[in-house]
Chains A and B, each alone.
Chain A
Amino acid sequence: MSLRSHPVSAGLTLLCALLLAACDPAPQTDRYGDGGPDAGRAGFAGLGAANDGYAHARPGTRLNFPGDHGPHPGFRIEWWYLTANLEDASGEPLGMQWTLFRQAQQPDTDTAPDPRAQPWATDQLWMAHMALSRGASHRVAERFARGTSRPRPQTARQAGVTAQPFRAWLDNWQLESLATDPTIDALSHLRLNARAEDAKGPFGYRLDLRAEGPLVRHGLEGFSQKSADGQGSMYYSQPFYRVHGEILLDGAQHTVTGRAWLDREWSSQLLSPTQTGWDWFSLHLNSGARVMAFRLRGGGDNNGDYYSGSWITPEGKVTPLKADTLKLEPLARAEVAGQTLPVRWRMTLPQQDLTLDIAARHPNRWMRTSVPYWEGAVTVKDATTGAPRGQGYLEMTGY
């Protein structure tokens, strides 16, 4: 099943644009066919467009749980993004991803159509991606749904997210909280279920996720700046999951264990008009520490790249990383699906006295979704000794 040929692909550009940016500014205008009025003027697919009417991510905004686990329909874009480094009983590594995206169709949720009068009317679009990979095998599926910001019983919605009890779903793909104790965070114990089928047969997973640490707020108490001119998003993570469960891949069922990372992010204007894409890392170090780091290509000081990240101690204490405390450089590139992508990186963290070599487990992690991007598991080694230091996930967009 070629997801790329999906007829709705072109229109969902904005949703996907969260992940990506165009490879160079010139063809940005209408690369994915989004002929909207903002397309040419304001960065990739209008992501940097003026957004009057939408709520804004600002420094000083306080995060509130469990409410912020749920959707923020007043913001244009939002996601629930889960990646995991797994291994089966024989120790063979696997990677998985499950993401639910939301995009508002209009800023004003008060004027959204009443679902009782107009059952099909939509002011929120939902999109979900799932991926499961092992060695050269990389399976991807994508689905869409219409939704509304107006309240409606859960059963009457094809897709959505509820904060209490926590549940995020599209069709039969769902991530739900198993935490029954109201005093502990809803995301501390999750179950994920997803299954898809294409011409190569069915694949899917059923995973149990338990957090071994607290939620982590990135940037300034959850406000994550994305460019020198102050654009940004609300961004927190749960990077401390231990995972066990079952996966179905290439006709075989496997019992798997591993570590997972959940990202929550929402914004109305993520990129500045000149930014073209990003390289984003989430690393589980053997020491128990976690690293989140990204490079936004363009939009930094003097139009250079913009660097940001978080050093997370095993206890969940965050030290923000900036251009002077975080260095990322590509070491080797590979040809993937007609694109040339950096699949080996060097990450230098001078404050932590760490120089890490990060390499994709397999270059073939191209997501052939309506707007394609690269997302895959990586190994982390000490740059000088070559000793294993951990593992993680890498996402590269806009190439």
Chain B
Amino acid sequence: MRLMGVALATLLSHYRRHPGQLAMLLMGLWVAGALWSGVQAINASARDNYARAEALLGDDYARLEREDGQPLTRDDFIRLRQAGILVSPLIEGELTTDDGMQLTLIGIDPLTLSGDTTLTRSGAPGALQHFLSSPWQTRLAPDTRARLGSQPTVHGGTALPPMIEVPALPPDTLVMDIAIAARLLGTGDAITALLGNRTALTAAPDGFVLTPADARASPRELTQSFHLNLTAMALLALVVGLFIVQAALGLALEQRLSLLRTLRALGVSGRTLVALLVVELAILGLAGALAGLLSGVWLAQTLLPDVAATLQNLYGATVSGTLSLPWHYWLGGVAVSLGGLVIAGSGVLWRASRLSLLGLGQAQAWRRGYQRQLRVQTLLGAVAALAALALGLTPDTGLIAGFGLVAAILLAAALWQPPLLAWLLAMALRVLEGASRPTRRLALTQWALADLQLQLPRLSLAMMALLIALAANLGVSSMVGGFRLTFLDWLDQRLIADIYLNPPAAQFDDINRWLAQHPAVHERLTTANADSELLEIGAPNARPRRPGLPLPVFGITPGETLMVDWPLLATLGDRDAAWQTLQQGGVFINEQLARGHHITPGDRVTLTTPGGRQSFSVAGIYPDYGNPRGELVMTTAQVRRLFRVPPRSMGIVIQPGEDPGQLRQQLMTRFALAPHHLRDQRQLKATATAIFERTFTITRALNGLTLAVAALALLATLLAQAEERRRRLATLWALGVPRHRLLTTQLVQLAGAALVTGLLAVPLGIAITACLVWGINVAAFGWRLPLHVFPAEISLTLLTAVLVALLAAGLPLLKLWRTPPRALLAEEEAG
């Protein structure tokens, strides 16, 4: 036991002599762990929020709505109960506190609500009397309460009922008895939904439409892709970080070979030695993992507000801005870091266990071993490439397969990169050897190439990390850039009116009449909307499908201006024919609906309307970025007629040369409209763009961090071999090569390798962009983007590669520059 203690102390003493290596090891673990656990923290927190939102209703309930599209009332509830149909009323609405905090208020009737969900449990035991009658109770999650403050008021001074904390409730949600909720929301007799137990309520009663429990999209499903994205990025960072660890560990072992041999010679058994190295790994791993975990939480806290905003914008999913982490998160974080360390360290342990007592570390022997390794890598790369090919050729794959494809492509490229570099070097050397007359310059180049060949085994890992980071960076930024272009284009096409008017319903007709007479107005594009259900999809020569899907219906006015610009992806016949069909009663559907349910122009869709079932011909498919759900448009006139709804808003197209600001002012003064009734195009575009930018903030931040980690990996590797290399350079210097030449040679060596890596990263990055926009985006969001390639982005990638390499080389070189040549020679002698 004592022997082991001494041996361990001896092993660890290495790091006292080389604190840089220790720092590098810990940093690798720390960086990898921090990014991974940061993203996991965000995901865990969001998942907890979704779980709370889902548990609120569970999947226990089916919903009833009126067939005629009219809102449900208390009378419907009583009528159904007296017919023996056990439904429970629920009202839901938005409530804004006097401090401006937006809350969702849910009113329930605990007496009729059955089932075991957060909603039923939130009318917690022991207090039903208090829940049901004055002064009632506000049930809310502790995080919501914390944000609300101690005395929240609404409607200018009305206090909320006494607050009771129910941790299982989703954020920003209040649950109250239906009586007080109806009073606070001013809903009177109206009900938002009638809920019935899914097992009891299986068929719709006469006059009602049933939405089965599982037809409702949950925030978990909608946002799954977003979180998968984050996870993939974090995994990338973890892998890159582990490259650093691997490099550092390899070096630490290499330098301790003689020490290990001495220990063996002194009687420490090989098994004990391996055990000691495991202990060393565990100590380092725990330290690194804990540091990573803590930084990860900090990182998550920094990113979470942006993530929450993104999720709210993209999916309307409420995620609390505060972090709440379950215990298994902490355990998982440490486990992943340690697991990664074991994988990274397994090679080292294996080598240590096979350590020959008398063998000598020999660079050339090492190289021969490396040749074998390259062959294995080439083979493995081929396997990865085949996997990528198989995944790529499989049609209609899901999100996981999409990420699998990206991973396989990255892996294949990373595995093939060192053999490729080695092959390039060998080719270059052969060319030089073939040159007729050796000159001094040529000799140095030849040396540089051979030296690079020798460095390759160590360098290749860092270069692989760099390649992956560069390619991912290029892929993601091209995707985001492409999306941005498409999105802005699409905004331009969709937002064609100059002013968007959303007047109070009572004033709509007056304003419309007034605008009709106004000389500055070119066109008025009224809209309307209604909720419907997609009952049936009929395609020629196919059996009709019945999705039973809730489907929002929007009305557009196909005016002259609109028809020219409105983007369409696919139409039956040409654009004009499609518009004509729309005007004659046809519909357009968005890309999400088309892809999700395999609907093509020419198919027929059947919807519920207040007047009964109606069937429509699909005339075209339009892109609808930023919307996760299916949608359908028809003419406003048709929406109003079929769904018996009033017009909702109006787009005003101004005559060329007229000033929209003036008209806006006239409208506001004449009809006493509030600013929120009127929005101009610029403002709308700015809002939309802001939402978009926000959505990709996280992606960009993580992307940048990954690249930083890769640069760190390269730096770590170079630092690790700096000392050893100095000795080799000393010989050259002694032969008369000037120091500045030596340094330039070094820089060129590295920059060249990095440039090759960068060049490799370009096609790889484009391939990844293609996978993202054609595969992952479609699976995740339901829309497909055109592939954009940005030359500036590519040049930047190449530049980044070289810069990263030069930067990483800079520090060791600076040290070299400052070392007097004598010291170098002394080192050579000592070595």
Contacts and interface: CB of A to CB of B under 8 A. Distances in A.
Interface stretch (B105-113, B546-554, B708-716): B105-113
Q: Which of B78, B111, B178 has the most CB of A within 10 A?
A: B111
A158 interface: yes
B360 interface: no
Interface stretch (B124-132, B665-673, B790-798): B124-132
Given A11-B110, A146-B132, 10 more contacts: A8-B113, A8-B128, A11-B126, A33-B125, A34-B126, A106-B133, A118-B183, A120-B107, A146-B179, A155-B79
Nearest to B128: A11
B179 A120 contact: yes
B86 A7 contact: no
B121 A7 contact: yes
Interface in A171-226: 171-172, 195, 197
> Which of the listed residues B75, B79, B84 has the most CB atoms from chain A within 10 Å of its own CB?
B84
A343 to B, nearest CB: 31
A389 to B, nearest CB: 40
B112 A119 contact: no
A331 B398 CA distance: 71
Contacts of A119: 74, 182, 188-189
A14 B112 CA distance: 18
Those 7 A-B pairs whose CB atoms lie nearest each other, nearest first = A11-B128, A172-B84, A10-B125, A120-B179, A144-B111, A33-B126, A7-B120
A123 B134 CA distance: 10
A118 B179 contact: yes
Interface string A104-147: 01100000010000111111010000000000000000001110
Interface in A1-28: 5-8, 10-12, 14
Contacts of A33: 125-126
B386 interface: no
Interface of A: 5-8, 10-12, 14, 30, 33-36, 105-106, 113, 118-123, 125, 144-146, 155-158, 169, 171-172, 195, 197
Contacts of A113: 179
B286 to A, nearest CB: 45
B531 interface: no
B151 interface: no
B335 interface: no
B133 A122 contact: yes
Contacts of B129: 11, 14, 34, 36, 105
Contact of B81 (A5, A120, A171, A195): A171
A119 B78 CA distance: 12
B116 interface: yes
B84 A195 contact: yes
Contact of B74 (A106, A120, A122, A125): A120
A122 B114 CA distance: 19
Contacts of B110: 7-8, 11
Interface in B65-105: 74-75, 77-79, 81-84, 86, 89
A8 B126 contact: no
B132 A105 contact: yes
Interface size range of chain B in the complex: 35 or more
Nearest to A121: B179
B137 to A, nearest CB: 12
A123 B133 CA distance: 7
Contacts of A5: 116
Nearest to B182: A120
A112 to B, nearest CB: 10
B245 to A, nearest CB: 52
Nearest to A174: B82
B162 to A, nearest CB: 14
12 contacts: A14-B129, A33-B126, A34-B129, A35-B126, A118-B183, A119-B74, A125-B111, A155-B82, A156-B74, A157-B78, A158-B82, A172-B81
Nearest to B86: A171
B123 interface: yes
A17 to B, nearest CB: 12
B200 interface: yes
A30 B126 contact: yes
B125 A11 contact: yes
Interface in B358-403: none
A122 B132 contact: yes
A10 B127 CA distance: 8
A155 B76 CA distance: 11
Contacts of B132: 11, 105, 122, 125, 146
Contacts of A145: 81, 111-112
B84 A171 contact: yes
A8 B123 contact: yes
Given A123-B133, A172-B81, A172-B82, A6 B114 contact: yes
A98 to B, nearest CB: 15
Nearest to A147: B111
Nearest to A3: B114
A195 to B, nearest CB: 6
A158 B128 contact: no
A105 B114 contact: no
A118 B182 contact: yes
A102 B127 CA distance: 18
Contacts of A35: 126-127
A176 to B, nearest CB: 13
Contacts of B81: 145, 158, 171-172
Contacts of A34: 126, 129
Nearest to A123: B133
A119 B83 CA distance: 20
A280 to B, nearest CB: 26
Contacts of B82: 155, 158, 169, 171-172
A76 to B, nearest CB: 12
Given A123-B133, A144-B111, A197-B200, A7 B123 contact: yes
A169 to B, nearest CB: 8
A171 B82 CA distance: 4
Contacts of A122: 132-133, 179
A156 B83 contact: no
A122 B107 CA distance: 14
B200 A10 contact: no
B502 to A, nearest CB: 30
Contacts of B177: 120
Contacts of B115: 7
B92 to A, nearest CB: 14
A30 B113 CA distance: 24
Contacts of B123: 7-8, 11
